[in-house]
Structure formats: C-alpha cells, structure tokens
Structure 1
Amino acid sequence: MQMTKIYTKNDIRKAALELKMGELVAFPTETVYGLGADATNEKAVKRVYLAKGRPSDNPLIVTVSSIEMVERFVGEISTDAKKLMENFWPGSLTIILNIIPGSLSETVTGGLKTAAFRMPKNQVTLDLISELDRPLVGPSANSSGKPSPTTAEHVFHDLEGKISGIVDDGPTTVGVESTIIDMSTDIPTILRPGAVTPEDLEEILGKTVISDKHKVKDKETPKAPGMKYKHYAPNAQVLIVKDNDWQEALKFAQENKDEIALLATEDILKNAKIKLKYSLGKDEKSAAKNLFAGLRYFDDMPQVKYILAKEFVYDGLGMAYMNRLKKSAGNQFFNVDLVEN
C-alpha cells in the first residue's frame, strides 16, 4: 500500500511531477474534490477506475486550465459552446463536445465519440494543470457509489493508500458536482443538473435547453457521469421527507432515537429532540453545499439505520440537490407504515 501525501498550494510542482510519472493525485474544485490522472496517459487513467472501483463504461470528465487546451482534442469549437465557456468558465459547468477521432483514449471517453470538458473555478487546480500542461481526468475522489468528497479528509478516508497524494485547498464552496450539458447534439441537453441552471444556460444561448434527461438504459453507455449507476449512497438507508410529513417523521425519529438520523434545515432541527442530526443550513444553496458532508457524517455511525433527509422543490439549485438526494436514497421517500414494517 502506497503512502498518500497531503500537498498544499505551495507543493504544486511536486504534485504535477507525480502526475507526470503516471501517479494519481486528488485535486480541489469549487464543487467536489476530483481524482486526477494525466488524461493522455492511458495506464494512469485505468488506475483511476481501479482506485474508485468505478464501472469502465462510465466516461470521465476531462479537466482543463484553458479553452486552448480543449481545442487540442476537439478542433474548432462551435459558437454556442464557446459562448458557454466564455460566460461560465472557470466554473461549475461541464460541456460535452465531439472530439477528434483518436485524440483521447476509449478509457477516457467510455468508447464514445464525445468527451466532457470542464474548467473548475479553483486557482490551485488551474495552476496544477498548467504546470502539467496536459488535462486531468477528474471524477469525484471517492469510492464509487459513495457520497462525493467536499474536503481533503473525505478523500483520505476513501482513498488512503490507493493514490499518491491529495492537494488540500480546504472545503469546497458549491458542494454538488457541476452541471453537465451536451453540446454535441442539435438541441443542448442537460445530462446532470448542478449550480448552473437551465435558465442560466438559456439566457446565454438564446434557445431552449432540454433539462430532464438524467438517466440511461441498462445497456446504454452514459455520455456523462451519474446517469446510470447508484451514486452518493451512505451505509444507512436514506429516506426523503416531504414537507407535509415532517411531523410524523420527527415522531418516528424520537421513538427510535438510536437508529434514526436527521439531515435537514435549521427550522426543522430546532424542534427535533434527537441528537443524531446534521444541519443543511437555511436554504437550497446551503443544503447543496452540505449534503455530501452530512451523508458522510453519518457513515461513521454504524448504529444509524435510516437517514431522514429534507426534500426541496425541484427547481434551480434545488434540482441539483434533489438529483443527488434521490440517487443516494434510491428514490425512496419516508412512509411510516413502510418503515415500521
């Protein structure tokens, strides 16, 4: 088992050297921590799948430090795609584009003729990629299926001994992965919701964006991460609680205090006479930022059987939050009769 080193922003050259040697180094972004490997080194990329335990037909996001770096792999960028890059990069938007045949290995693309590109809003990581002078693959730096990491400590918990290092730049600020938009099709299509909303994209593009294609069939190769397999799941069963069901949910929690945990906003928690709880803050923005940290918090408590989690309206940033929460819960909602049986 190799030793996993912790790097700071002052160790960028050391971290880049590890990547040049084919090692894996986790890196910070504004959304979640990513697991980095040189995207042009197929052996290194294959190690990412092994470290995460990730299905090999799940394509990897290509993380870049400039638009010029994207052009190495796609050639000419369309007018609409360039508009999105100019308005949302660096930031929480991943853009799927057709690529030059053979420019990236099938290990990166999942065998597709497209690839997903992102420029994160984190200067430490942009400096790291610039030092490497090659893009990084950047899936979330966690064991596959588990809640995504929003701190270096989360990464260390899952991947200690499996990767060379972690560049620590503190907690992430957004907390859920980037919006993914497919620009390789005639109609721009959101494949994963995130902090950049459909309305944001439509305002820039001046055209309709499809925003409800978040799943694929069992035998279909997904164009983007998070569309096919179970994601974000802690050890306990997550149950989503609708606003009208919280009174009943709190009663159930208080009757089963040792097995039930609450993941909710401050207004709900202040009335909960139960010690196993984690605050999502006050609104959709803070809830999105705190969701994965909350799910991971209860993973260290083996006695927890159920996590009761707050539902938000499926709109704006609430759409990104609910997309992840539904996946972590397996789309299961709280029902006291079902739980008691």
Structure 2
Amino acid sequence: METIIFDQQLEQAVEALKQGEVVSFPTETVYGLGANALDESAVKKVFAVKGRPSDNPLIVHVYDFDQVKPFIQTKHPLAEKIVEQFWPGPLTLIFEIKPESLPKVVTGGLSTAAFRMPNHPVTLELLRQAQLPLVGPSANTSGKPSPTSSAHVYHDLKGKIKGIVEGGQSQIGVESTVLDLSNPNLPPMILRPGAITKEMLEATLGLEVLIDQHLVKESETPKAPGMKYKHYSPDTPVMMVAPKDLLHAVRHFGKENYRLGVMATPSQIALIKDQVQTCFAYEDEKVQSAAKGLFSGLRQLDEQSPKLDLILVVTFENKGLGMAYMNRLKKAAAQKIY
C-alpha cells in the first residue's frame, strides 16, 4: 500500500476514514493513528499496524463534548467544568459508557472509554468533516517512542497505512493527561500525567486531584494507554541520570568503552560534549523543551550508525510538566537510573 501525505487535503483523508482505512493525524501532543471508532474492522487494522495488544484501550477523538454525551452512562458532576476549562487540549477523560455503545476492541473489554478533543486546527476540521469519532493511539510501532512529526510516522508506518495528514511539529511532545471520571461518586484521578497538570486541575476544581502511581504489568489490562511498566522505548538501551551525576556517568561509561549518546539541556551538554560520541540538546533549560524533545531525541540517537550502546537522559524534578516527562522517561528506561 502506498502511504499518501495529505497536505491538509482533508476531503481525501475523510473519504479514506469513511471507507474503513487508517489515516494518521496531527495533534498538539503527538501524531495519532486514526480510524473510525464505530467500525470494529477499521479499529482492528490500527492494532495490526501498531503490533499492539488488543486488550489495550484506545482514546476516542471528538470535535466537541456533545459528540461524547450519547456514549456516557453516568456523567461525573465535574465533567462540564473540566471540559469548559481544558477542551480542546491535552486532556483525555475516562467515562463509564453505555453497554455496547462502542466496540469492545476500542475499550479493551472494559466498561469505560477514554475521550479527547485535540487542540489542533487541522484535526478538529478533519473530525468535523468526517462526523465520526476516531480512535487515535500514537502513530508508531507499539512500545517505541511516540511520533512528533509526520516524518516519524512515515518512518515507522510507510506502506502500512493509507495516509498521513501533515500538521507540522507537535508542540507539546508527550501524550495527553488521562483523567478518570468513570465513578461520579469519587474525585477525579490522574492515570497518566501530561501537560494538564495536577496543579492546574486543582486550581480549576478547588479540590484535591489524586494520581494513580500503579504500574500495570504485561498481564494486566490497563484502564488507559501508556500505563505499562515499559513503554516508549527505542531499540538502544536507555538510562536516566540526575544532572549532578551526568559527568560522572559519562566518565564511567567512557572507561567501559561504551558508544554513548546523551540527551540533556544545552548547559549540561556543554559540560560533557567532548567526552561522548553524540548528543541531543533540548532547545533550552526548561522542562517544556525537554518534554517536546524527548521522543524525537530518543529516535534520533537510536538511529545513529554505528549503533550506540546506551543513551543517557537527564532527569527533571517530578512536578508539573516534569511529572509527565519523568513518567515517559522512566518507562523508556525501564525504570533504570544511574
């Protein structure tokens, strides 16, 4: 199959989706792998393309909250307030849904489903024109770093999907926050951190928002994507390193004759650049740049030739957006830290 780059030619992309094809679309977080969420055979193609276990639930992308309401069994009392404040945006909401309102392949067999309204003008227009809810897991091979550009999608999935809607570089770079609203009698709980932080939610809601720290084993069915113990991993082994330990780690692995790659801020790279084979510097010292560059940096260093033996990635403080960055990094590194 030839994979077409739809340069915002949405009529062709819409037609492909209506015919049950798989089309990648841009969002502000990462690129998604779109298919009609109401078409079981189309959704199964998404799992086949990604090589993803079919017990893993998918996020359903919509163009407004009215599109979600027919699926919801019991609406959480805070749902409207959250939607009004944070949609469109990098926030996925989990609701208890009406039995058989979505195919089991979308929900992973659970009684809940996840919904998001992405903050990207091209994809919002795609959703409006299609008038279909679209599943949209990250458009990459399952378990590998998520794609933040159409080039990343093409690299992973050329010949496997019908097309890619071009939408430029993803601005956030890590997947959406997932917030569990499935039990209207319980406070909201973050299942996956993202750019909408605990602090932001609490400021809007005026109450404590919980965070689920549970790491899902391979044998378990996660309630939301990205909850597995290991995820987002390139082929090259990854290890976390605290900024204070970076120089020591570089010297240690240098003595062991490792071909080493390092991902860090510009000032941190300046300290060690003469002692490693290759580096990937974030745009600046801020965690926003680290989050935006994490997946693209992992991909770039993973493709070095000859192959690297190890990629060292600096840690950030585990708060605010740093919580989302560290969540992805810990899984990419299979929890290993120097």
Q: TM-score range, shorter-chain basis? A: over 0.9
Q: 1:34 to 1:160 in 2, by over 3 A?
A: same
State the 1:144 CA deviation.
0.3
Structure 1: tracts of 5 or more residues without a match = 335-341
Does 1:41 pair with 2:39?
yes
Distance in 2, matches of 1:230 and 1:177, equals 15
Give the equivalent residue in structure 2 for 1:285.
288
**Cα distance, 1:129–1:150 mapped onto 2, change above 3 Å:** same
Deviations 1:222-252 (A, max 9, x none): 1100112521111111110112211212323
Structure 1 CA distance for aligned equivalents of residues 21 and 250 of structure 2: 47
SS in 1 for 2:93: strand
**Segment drifting more, 45-54 vs 210-219:** 210-219
Which sections of structure 2, spanning at least 5 residues, go unmatched? none
- Distance in 2 (CA, whole Å) between partners of 1:75 and 1:225 is 21
In the alignment, which residue of structure 2 is the partner of 1:240?
Answer: 240
Give the RMSD, CA atoms, in angstroms: 1.5
Specify the SS of the correspondent of 2:196: coil
Give the CA deviation at 1:255: 4.6
Among 318, 322, 325, which residue is 2:326 paired with?
A: 322
CA distance in 2, matches of 1:128, 1:253: 48
**2:297 counterpart of 1:294:** yes
- 1:137-182 Cα shifts (integer Å, max 9, x gaps): 0100000010000000000011111100000111000000000000
Q: Displacement of 1:102 after TM fit?
A: 1.1
The residue number in structure 2 matching 1:8 is 7
What is the match of residue 338 of structure 1? none
The residue that corresponds to 1:117 in the other structure is 115
Output the CA distance in 2 between the equivalents of 1:119 and 1:141.
17
1:1-341 correspondence to structure 2 within 5 Å: 2-9=1-8, 11-74=9-72, 77-185=75-183, 186-228=186-228, 230-252=230-252, 254-255=254-255, 259-272=259-272, 273=274, 274-281=276-283, 282-301=285-304, 302-334=306-338
Give per-residue Cα distances to partners, 1:77-126, cap 9 Å, x unaligned.
Answer: 43301111110000000000011111101000001111000000001001
Q: What residue identity is the alignment partner of 2:216?
A: V
Matched with 1:339 is none
Helix, strand or coil for the counterpart of 2:271? coil
**Cα pair 1:190 1:214 within 8 Å, conserved:** no
Amino acid in the other structure paired with 2:319: D
CA contact (8 A) 1:192 1:214 kept: no
CA contact (8 A) 2:91 2:179 kept: yes
TM-score (norm 2): 0.95
* Stretch deviating more after TM superposition (61-70 or 248-257): 248-257
Identity of aligned residues (%): 51
Once the two structures are TM-superposed, the CA of residue 207 in structure 1 deviates from its matched residue by 1.6
Tell me the CA shift for residue 328 of structure 1.
Answer: 0.3
Q: Is the 8 A contact 2:259 2:277 kept in 1?
A: no
Contact 1:258–1:303 (CA under 8 A) maintained in structure 2: no
How far the C-alpha of 1:283 sits from its partner, in A, is 1.5
One-letter amino acid matched to 1:220: E
Quick check: 2:28–2:120 contact (8 Å CA) kept in 1? yes
Whether the 8 Å CA contact 2:230–2:333 is kept in 1: the answer is no
Q: Distance in 2 between matches of 1:5 and 1:269?
A: 38
Q: Secondary structure at the match of 2:318?
A: coil
1:188-238 deviation line (CA, Å, top 9, x unaligned): 110000000101111222221111334234543211001125211111111
Aligned pairs, number: 332
Query: Does the Cα contact within 8 Å between 2:253 and 2:260 map onto a contact in 1?
Result: yes
Give yes or no for contact 1:238–1:309 (8 Å, CA) kept in 2: yes
Aligned twin of 1:337: none
Please state how far the C-alpha of 1:51 moved relative to its aligned partner.
0.2
- Offset from partner CA, 1:279-312 (integer Å, 9 cap, x none): 1231211000000000000121242010010011
One-letter amino acid matched to 1:51:
V
